[in-house]
Amino acid sequence: MRILTGLLVPNAGRVTLAGFDVVKDNDAIHVASGYMPQRFGLYEDLSVMENMRLYAQLRGMDADRNADLFAELLDFTRLGPFTKRLAGKLSGGMKQKLGLACALMARPKVLLLDEPGVGVDPVSRQDLWRMVQALTDEGMAVVWSTAYLDEAERCESVLLLNQGQLLFDGPPQALTAQLEGRSFRLEDVGAERRAVLTQALDLPSVSDGVIQGAGVRLVLRDGAQSREIQSLANQAQVRLAQVPARFEDAFIDLLGGGPAALRRWPSVCRRLSWVPTLPCRAAISPSASANSPLPTTSASRCKRAKSSVCSVPTAPASPPPSRCCAAC
């Protein structure tokens, strides 16, 4: 993310953002992009309004002549009632909103968000998505770095990099579609489900498996037949049902399947530049107007979108709590 903002110089290769080279056109990059780092980067001993005024001045803007812009940003982020509150007294979600308001100060063409959903309560997280969706609806390109699969699945495009190799590039639905016809569930296994899961994972045809309620969910390897797991179902005297594929299953399968993925997990977590691209309506688009007004939003318009941003590589420090080190 810091390479995209021009804060770090790449060791090799060439990176462009909004049509500008991040090394040769560093000043233009700073104008074209807005960046919200993962850690709160504003002054906790200043109030919300003081932080916004300071950030405007750092951008070369006259804070006194931008009262309308401040009011617009405060309304957009719903921080209007808290302008006098010290930033250090804000909740995690409100800090993210303040960071977003400051990142939008110069009306960038591209907004870079580094894991904005980390440490944020569910309500504030949904509010962040509301704002990001509104921005992308207005044509702004948004790059959202994340380590959470549910956020990645809402993206327009996903890039998965492992050990410097691009494993997948495309919409998350396309990755999930690769598992079509390979996902099954052993129904109502009950108290024996852990033992049944262990037996299933030992089968050559099974790529991944996980306990799901009273049943066991299984994913077959590419090209494998269901005969082995049907035999297992008969042995356990339970019903085998085909179920829709999931994005998480596809992700694990891409890494080589459950047991293989878990064995590779330490190295994957260190090197995985895994890019959930959220529903960004345009990728990095130099055509977006830097002077276009900020979008107005309403609860009825801002529906929970299944897609809405873009995302850039990030190597998570530790696996998310979603399921036993299953995905980054």
Q: Where are the domains of the chain?
A: 16-147, 174-258
- Residues contacting residue 116 through CB under 8 Å, at least 6 positions apart: 36, 38, 96, 99, 100, 128, 144
pLDDT of 322 strictly over 70: no
- By the 10 Å C-beta count (0-12 exposed, 13-18 middle, 19+ buried), 164 is classed as exposed
Hunting for tokens 């992009």 — which residue is that? 33
pLDDT of 319 strictly over 80: no
Q: Enter the DSSP assignment of 6.
A: T
Per-residue model confidence (pLDDT) at position 258:
64
Supply the DSSP string of 93-110, one letter for each residue: HHHHHHHHHHHTTT--SE
pLDDT of 163 strictly over 70: yes
Q: Which CATH superfamily is domain 174-258 in?
A: UreE, C-terminal domain (3.30.70.790)
Residue 108 to residues 76, 135, 307: CA-CA distances in angstroms?
A: 16, 11, 21
Q: Which residue has the higher pLDDT, 243 or 269?
A: 243
Query: Burial code of 87-116, b = ≥16 C-beta within 10 A, e = fewer?
Result: beebeebbbbbbbbbbbbbbbbbbbbbbbb
This prediction has a pTM of: 0.67
Residue 156 to residue 161: CA distance in whole angstroms: 17
The total of other beta-carbon atoms located within 10 Å of residue 15's CB is 15
Residue 291 to residue 156: CA distance in whole angstroms: 25
Helix (H, G, I), strand (E, B) or coil at 324: coil
Percent of the chain with pLDDT over 90: 27
User: Hey, what are 139's tokens?
Assistant: 């044509």
Per-residue model confidence (pLDDT) at position 177:
92
Q: Enter the DSSP assignment of 293.
A: P
Top-tier CATH class for 16-147: alpha beta
Residue 115 to residue 14: CA distance in whole angstroms: 24
Mean pLDDT value of segment 182-207:
92
Per-residue model confidence (pLDDT) at position 13:
87
Partners of 217 in the beta sheet? 185, 210
Element (H, E) at 268: helix 258-271
